[in-house]
Amino acid sequence: MSYPKKVTICDVGTRDGFQIEHKFIPTATKIEVINAIIAAGVRKLEVTSFVSPRAVPQMADAAEVYAGIDKSRGAELVCLIPNRRGAEDAAKAGVKTALLFLSASETHNLTNVNRSVQASLDGLKDVMAVANGAGMAVHGAIATSFGCPFEGDVPAERVADLAVRMRDMGMHHVSLGDTTGMATPPIVKRVVEAIRRRAPALELTLHFHNTRGLGLVNVMAGLEMGVTHFEGSIGGLGGCPFAPGATGNICTEDCVNLMHELGIETGIDLDALCAVARRVEQFLGRPLPGQVMRAGPRSKLHTIAAAKRAVG
Ligand code: ZN
């Protein structure tokens, strides 16, 4: 089995993770976390969302957050944009990369944004015109790519069809979201293969959730298919909207640890990233699901004197 030599891991924690936090996280704290993630070597982040503050109050400070981010290291700063208004606000804020999304499942799309998938596709063109007019690069995201909590399996051809349409609109990068953690390795292979057949040059990102413990197993399936872009969330921030208390996004540090153990370069300093995860855990005041942030990498050895006896 040969894996890619190098991958890009995008951290989505300050958008996908923070957005479900009820208590408002101060703008300065958000900026501090984003800049610390960048300082640890992460070169792509989904930083915030230009969504209506009534819909998601936690993202009301998107423009201020964007303004405070350290741009000197050349990290790609992706902003989620749900509609035309969001694109106009993002343009004013100087955003360079927009992420536009829809769901592969008709029922999930209706529940999430109250319109059909076709209406969403038409809407994307409008948002894209504003984003392109402002000189932004536009990436696409397809939610429920590996299964829908209402409809069950989503046909791989349907996901491929949407990916092709996004490419034809001018998006050179499409992220496949496992919104409720329903992906399994065979499904990942089927979906990636279906897209590769029809859009071999389209750059794919895999966005897995660890809801059922298969997050990193699915990352392995992606690596085996030669995928080189993955998304994770610092400390494993985020949850599953349909299963209260269940784990959401895979954890960025755990994913980085896996890559390094496979000999795959990420450019990320794992210790520095774990320190950021612990800082996030501290200000949120509850344990996060990340594992390497607690155990440390396997190269971290312990002294016998400090060890407790353990069997098993
Ligand atoms: Zn997610």
Ligand 1 centroid–CA 19 distance in Å is 11
Beta-bridge partner residues of 261 = none
From first to last of the 312 residues of the chain, give the pLDDT tens digit: 789 999 999 999 999 999 999 999 999 999 999 999 999 999 999 999 999 999 999 999 999 999 999 999 999 999 999 999 999 999 999 999 999 999 999 988 888 888 998 999 999 999 999 999 999 999 999 999 999 999 999 999 999 999 999 999 999 899 999 999 999 999 999 999 999 999 999 999 999 999 999 999 999 999 999 999 999 999 999 987 777 778 899 999 999 999 999 999 999 999 999 999 999 999 999 999 999 999 998 888 888 887 777 777
Ligand 1 centroid–CA 53 distance in Å is 20
The fold for domain 8-306 equals TIM Barrel (3.20.20)
Ligand 1 centroid–CA 183 distance in Å is 12
Domain ranges of the chain: 8-306
Indicate the DSSP class of residue 115.
Answer: S
pTM across the whole model: 0.95
E strands, the chain, are 8-11, 44-49, 76-80, 97-103, 137-143, 173-177, 203-207, 229-232
Six-digit token string for 103: 């769901």
Q: For residues 83 and 127, what is the distance between their CA atoms, to the nearest angstrom?
A: 6
Ligand 1 centroid–CA 119 distance in Å is 23
Q: Where do the H-state alpha helices sit in the chain?
A: 27-39, 62-68, 84-93, 106-113, 117-133, 156-169, 185-198, 215-224, 252-261, 270-284, 292-295
Catalytic residue among 79, 240, 251, 274: 240
- Catalytic site includes residue 240: yes
